[in-house]
Chain A
Amino acid sequence: AQTVTQSQPEMSVQEAETVTLSCTYDTSENNYYLFWYKQPPSRQMILVIRQEAYKQQNATENRFSVNFQKAAKSFSLKISDSQLGDTAMYFCAFMKPLSNYQLIWGAGTKLIIKP
């Protein structure tokens, strides 16, 4: 069975700093998808970034980028120039194709951006 592990329950950094959130996963599959979701205090779940396992190039969305290490089964999220609005819970999630596309989630990392 697939599992997703986020080893950092909580992190805090100063505004404008760069922060990296870690995520590791366990699977025997070769093709799959990985996601980072953000859940602010409003509790809305917002897709931040996604990565297809067959792509070697790391995904980037503005200030958000990932470091995808397939052999190490690692999928970390880097937030550059952090902003107060980045304060939220961040969840890493795994999806296996042809498995009804259900997401398997990590326990989350609480990120606090300090002014």
Chain B
Amino acid sequence: NAGVMQNPRHLVRRRGQEARLRCSPMKGHSHVYWYRQLPEEGLKFMVYLQKENIIDESGMPKERFSAEFPKEGPSILRIQQVVRGDSAAYFCASSPRAGVWINEQYFGPGTRLTVT
């Protein structure tokens, strides 16, 4: 059973370009979370999605950032017009159907975005 997959692992963009980060959840998982980790800091929640729905985007900047999780295919985190402050590691996590007992989030290896 393959784990959570993220690609690319490393992404370099110039200021003003667009960054697209992809996340394929574990098989059977329909919940996806995106987190951002700035250097020397812990993770910060960005957005929580289920298939075709954004459930909670309270941690996502209002401008330039968007996320989707289509019926088919991976979840995409999109950052438009990147700035140097967007440089960070972006982690995706997936979990099985939410329930009282099942609450583990399985993390992908992350995408390290560098904005030059």
Determine whether A75 belongs to the interface, using a CB cutoff of 8 Å to chain B: no
Determine whether B12 belongs to the interface, using a CB cutoff of 8 Å to chain A: no
- Select B103's contact among A4, A33, A46, beta carbons within 8 Å: A33
Task: Report if A100-B44 is in contact (Cβ < 8 Å); known contacts: A43-B109, A44-B110, A95-B103.
Answer: no
B9 to chain A, nearest CB (A): 9
Residues of B within 8 A of A106 (CB): 42
A18-33 interface code vs B (CB 8 A; 1 in, 0 out): 0000000000000001
> Size of chain B's interface in residues, with CB distance under 8 A?
27
Whether B43 contacts A105 by the Cβ 8 Å rule is yes
A72-115 interface code vs B (CB 8 A; 1 in, 0 out): 00000000000000000001010101001111111110000000
Q: How far is the CA of A110 from the CA of B103 in the complex (A)?
A: 25
Task: Report if A46-B107 is in contact (Cβ < 8 Å); known contacts: A100-B55, A101-B98, A102-B48.
Answer: yes
Determine whether A62 belongs to the interface, using a CB cutoff of 8 Å to chain B: no
What number of A-B contacts does a CB cutoff of 8 Å give?
60
Residues of A within 8 A of B17 (CB): none
Task: Report if A97-B103 is in contact (Cβ < 8 Å); known contacts: A45-B91, A107-B41.
Answer: yes
Whether A100 contacts B104 by the Cβ 8 Å rule is no
Whether B42 contacts A107 by the Cβ 8 Å rule is yes
B30-64 interface code vs A (CB 8 A; 1 in, 0 out): 01010100000111110010000001100100000
Whether B45 contacts A104 by the Cβ 8 Å rule is yes
Chain A residue at minimum C-beta to C-beta distance from B106: A47
Instruction: Please name the 4 residue pairs, one residue from A and one from B, whose CB atoms are nearest each other, closest first.
Output: A45-B107, A105-B42, A100-B56, A102-B45
Contacts A47-B105, A102-B48 supplied; 19 other A-B pairs, CB < 8 Å: A42-B109, A43-B109, A43-B112, A45-B43, A45-B110, A46-B107, A47-B106, A91-B43, A93-B43, A100-B55, A101-B33, A101-B98, A101-B103, A102-B56, A103-B33, A104-B45, A105-B43, A107-B42, A108-B42
